[in-house]
Structure 1
Amino acid sequence: MHLLVLGGTSFVGRAIVEEALRCGAEVTLFGRGRTGTGLFPGVPRLIGDRDTGDCTALADGRWDSVVDVSGYVPRHVCQAMDALGDRCGRYLFISSHAVYERSGLQPGSNEDAPRRAPERTTELLDDDTYGPAKVACEDDALARYGSRATIVRPGKVAGPHDPSDTFTYWVRRAARGGRVALPADPAQPVQVIDSRDLARLVVRLLSDDRPGVFHAVGPAEPTTLGGLIETCARAAGTEVEIVPVTPERVEPMFPLVRPNWATQQRSPARARAAGLTATPLEVTAADVLAWDRERGEPPIRRGYTPQQEQRLLAGAYRP
């Protein structure tokens, strides 16, 4: 398989490239050439910048499949498709669960749940526009390639090399052990997918030349936020006591905390039938812990500092 990856050196893209190479694919990368310059020696790299509209490097070449990891607004997708023309077989777009309507969602929802209205008037991405922009990207890919298009909608992705700090916060915090402040109900369901499972699904869908839309969510067995924290502690060999707390202020998007529980109860049935694997959550946690320690545990941007957590645990803001 001759595979072109649009953005393949950061986290999800990196995992997809690693899996594709492991399976014997011939991979070409397209990107700005600013990240992961030491990764994948010998893999051809085409240099361009989707933000500035420079896709001229895609004017030549032919590929069996394209994976679009770095398309966030419809201009990105349309410019890449215009440059590629009909010189690719399948176009697989990495989308997001943010495409779905926020109200009326039921537990167990599948890929046919109502989506939000597409956004084409701005490229400023925030909580209100990110999902609708992804809707527009999906629509454009499907309009251009039809049955040659595949859409993958990951949930929260976890694994080594994750730049978001979201899962890493809980892995690192659980490794310290002791009383853990949680500004949420420990019974909240949570869905995370290992980046390597997502990568295996993507490569499998391409190998099978399978169209459609697929939820990429895990783990294999339903878990709660409290259960996830305890699993991270087991992976680290520590013990934790989870203490629900009332935060000092509103905590927007605290790591893995979601007020709408149904967003963490989406059905993975279609993706599993197509070959989605499920790495045990404890394995993911252990691998993230090892990676975090290997990189020297740099400061992370999410969650509580130890000082903030101690104030909360002292009882000043507990219910």
Structure 2
Amino acid sequence: MRILILGGTSFVGRAVVDDALRRGAEVTLFSRGRTGTELFPGVPRLIGDRDTGDYAALHGRGWDAVVDVSGYVPRHVGQAMAALGDRVGRYLFISSHAVYLRMGVGPGSDEDTPRRPPVRDTEELDEDTYGPCKVACEDDVVARYGSRATIVRLGKVAGPHDVQSGLTYWVRRAARGGRVALPGSPEQPVQVVDSRDAARLVGQLLLDDRAGAFHAVGPAEPTTMAGLISTCARVAGSQVEVVPVPAEAVSPFFPLTRPESLWPTQQRSPARARAAGLPATPLAVTVADVLAWDRERGEPPLPHELSASQEAELLAQA
């Protein structure tokens, strides 16, 4: 199978490329050529830029499938589709659970959950626009490719090469042991999907030429924030005491934490994706791999984290 990947040198895209190559696919990368230049030697690279609309390198070439990891606003997707036309068999768009309405949704929601109204008049992405822009992208892909369109809606993704805080923060913090400040409730449900599982779902959907929308959520078994932190400590060989602290003292969206009103967004159903080939890597395996990778890279500062002094102050007030 000949697969074009728009992006592919960062986190999720990198995992998709790894999986495609493992399956023996002929992979071509399309990116700006600024990051990950040392990755995937021998894989053809086409240079372009979604921000400037430079998709000229795609003209006149065809692939069995395209995986769009880099489309965030309708202009990105529209330009890519215009350049590719009908010279691709299937267009798989990487979307997000941010497309869904946040309120009025119960635990176990599936891919037919109502989405937020699409937004097309901005490219400024924030909490209010990111999901609606993804909705517009999804709609455009389906309108253009119909039964040849596939949508993979990612939950929170975790794994090696994740430069965001997410699971990495809790892996690193639990490894240090002791009293761990948790902004929020220990009972909060939490879903993280291993990036390699998400990539394997993408590969299987392409192999099966399957249309539709699919949740990429994990882990293998439902867990809570307390359970996740305890798993991180067990893998690292440390001992922890999880201490709840007021969420408003830090941020309502501290790594992996959510207000109680949004707990159902961390309980989405993986049933359709599991039936289509989404693996279920145990959380402990993902944690072990993140721990090893983070230590190997020297544990650089994370975008959102509590310093030792900040955490000590919160714990003193608990």
Shorter-normalised TM-score: what interval? Answer: over 0.9
Asked if structure 2 preserves the Cα contact closer than 8 Å seen for 1:198 and 1:276, the reply is yes
The whole-number CA distance in structure 2 between the counterparts of 1:180 and 1:20 is 39
284, 287, 302: which one pairs with 1:285? 287
Aligned to 2:34: 34
- CA positional deviation for 1:249: 3.2
Q: Which amino acid aligns with 1:303?
A: E
Percent identical: 75
304, 307, 310: which one pairs with 2:309? 307
TM superposition score normalised by structure 2: 0.98
The whole-number CA distance in structure 1 between the counterparts of 2:306 and 2:209 is 44
What are the Cα deviations for residues 92-124 of structure 1, in whole angstroms up to 9, with x where unaligned?
A: 000000000111011000000000000000000
- CA positional deviation for 1:60: 2.3
The 5 Å alignment of 1:1-319 reads 1-246=1-246, 249-259=249-259, 260-315=262-317, 318=318
SS at match of 1:214: strand
SS at match of 1:220: coil
Asked if structure 1 preserves the Cα contact closer than 8 Å seen for 2:183 and 2:249, the reply is no
What are the Cα deviations for residues 50-102 of structure 1, in whole angstroms up to 9, with x where unaligned?
A: 01111111102110000000000000001000000000000000000000011
> Please, which moves more after superposition, 244-253 or 175-184?
244-253
Distance 1:148 1:71, change over 3 A: same
Gaps of 5+ in 2: none
The whole-number CA distance in structure 2 between the counterparts of 1:252 and 1:64 is 43
Asked if structure 2 preserves the Cα contact closer than 8 Å seen for 1:191 and 1:219, the reply is yes
Asked if structure 2 preserves the Cα contact closer than 8 Å seen for 1:4 and 1:65, the reply is yes
Asked if structure 1 preserves the Cα contact closer than 8 Å seen for 2:66 and 2:90, the reply is yes
Distance 1:286 1:250, change over 3 A: closer
Asked if structure 2 preserves the Cα contact closer than 8 Å seen for 1:201 and 1:275, the reply is yes
- CA positional deviation for 1:233: 0.6
Asked if structure 2 preserves the Cα contact closer than 8 Å seen for 1:247 and 1:312, the reply is no
What are the Cα deviations for residues 203-225 of structure 1, in whole angstroms up to 9, with x where unaligned?
A: 00000000010000001111001
The whole-number CA distance in structure 2 between the counterparts of 1:306 and 1:146 is 52
Distance 1:248 1:116, change over 3 A: closer
TM superposition score normalised by structure 1: 0.98
What is the total number of aligned residue pairs between the two structures? 316
The whole-number CA distance in structure 2 between the counterparts of 1:89 and 1:248 is 48
Asked if structure 1 preserves the Cα contact closer than 8 Å seen for 2:183 and 2:250, the reply is no
Q: Which amino acid aligns with 1:22?
A: R
SS at match of 2:251: coil
SS at match of 2:13: helix
- CA positional deviation for 1:247: 5.1
The whole-number CA distance in structure 1 between the counterparts of 2:268 and 2:44 is 37
CA RMSD of aligned residues (A): 0.8
- CA positional deviation for 1:135: 0.1
The whole-number CA distance in structure 2 between the counterparts of 1:300 and 1:183 is 17
